[in-house]
Amino acid sequence: MTGRQYIDEIKIRAPRHGVMVDTNDALLLSWVNTARRNMQNASMMLYPEKYGNRAFVPLLPTGIDAMSQTPVPYMSATKGVTIYTAAMPADLIDIDVALLLYTMNPAQVDAGVTYRIEMRRVNKKEFYAAQMHAWNGPTRWSPIYVLDRQMDRTPGAYPYVMYVAGLNLETIPPTTPTTLYDIAWAITIEIWYIKAVDFIEMLDNDTEIPPEMEESVINYAMMYLFENMNEIQALESIRADIKSHEINMKQNYEIRKEKEVVLLPSKEGI
């Protein structure tokens, strides 16, 4: 549906609840966009795949020497550990899977081979502890990352930043903290993440809200309309419709999860 179609549906359905709409279209569109965000919040924990997106982001060292433009390593135990950062997309809500991608350069035995390694997400305390213990340090075969939201960043900058550890070569002495960049190229982070729905305009086609949830978007927008007009009876009616849809959504989720259970032969009853 387009923004205009959402508004037309609101104007057609409101009289069924005994309410005549004389609100301007710009305000109605604002409520539609708010409804779309609320619909996502209500459903994305049950159906995260409905709001999925994929992106490739470059890695940058966190510390750069201003004169030489070389990475400044963080020393940990017996080796240098360089922490790399990746700016996340502005519409990111959360990450499902993060992968480290790199291709070996011509000087290596496995030249031209592209590796795609899943990174393990950790909390901030574990991120620090893993760097400080050489026996448990992250490597290019088992990199780790932490996601941080920085509220004091420059206006317009992406608030979410990923910090990655594990790109140092574990056999290099601490005096020469050579990293994966010395033996590989095209080093990138691939992320599969939950995307925040964007605002739409009158003629924009809503491709982000699943079709089966457009009905709830209309109901949410009508709820805001009735609240603004202080239509108590109509408000109770539309809230009942919203509650009914939420119950159906949770029931469908439970049914789907039951169907996804695969009984392994080793788990079968005797």
Please choose, from the candidates 234, 237, 208, 245, the residue with its C-alpha nearest in 3D space to the C-alpha of residue 3: 208
Q: Compute the Cα dihedral for 37, 158, 178, 187 and give only its sign.
A: positive
Q: Which residue has the tokens 């992320």?
A: 191
Predicted local confidence at residue 172, as pLDDT: 46
Predicted local confidence at residue 256, as pLDDT: 76
Q: Where are the beta strands (DSSP E) in the chain?
A: 52-58, 60-61, 74-76, 79-81, 84-87, 92-104, 114-118, 120-121, 144-149, 160-165, 184-195
Predicted local confidence at residue 132, as pLDDT: 63
Predicted local confidence at residue 247, as pLDDT: 86
Predicted local confidence at residue 75, as pLDDT: 45
Residue 167 buriedness (CB in 10 A; 0-12 / 13-18 / 19+): buried
Predicted local confidence at residue 246, as pLDDT: 84
Q: Which residue has the tokens 């608030």?
A: 159
Token digits for 34?
């708010």
Predicted local confidence at residue 258, as pLDDT: 73
Q: What is the pLDDT along the chain (270 residues), one digit of tens a residue?
A: 899 999 999 999 999 888 888 889 999 999 999 999 999 988 888 888 889 999 998 887 654 333 333 344 444 444 556 678 888 888 899 999 999 999 998 888 888 899 999 999 988 877 777 666 655 667 788 888 888 877 665 555 557 778 887 776 655 454 454 678 788 888 899 999 999 999 999 999 999 998 888 999 999 999 999 999 999 999 999 999 888 888 888 888 788 777 766 555 555 544
Domain ranges within the chain, ordered by starting residue: 3-47+210-261, 51-195
H or E element: which one contains 215? helix 214-229
Question: Strands 120-121 and 144-149: what pairing?
Answer: parallel
Token digits for 181?
């960049």
User: Structure pTM?
Assistant: 0.76
CB 116 within 8 A of CB 101: yes
End-to-end CA distance of the chain: 53
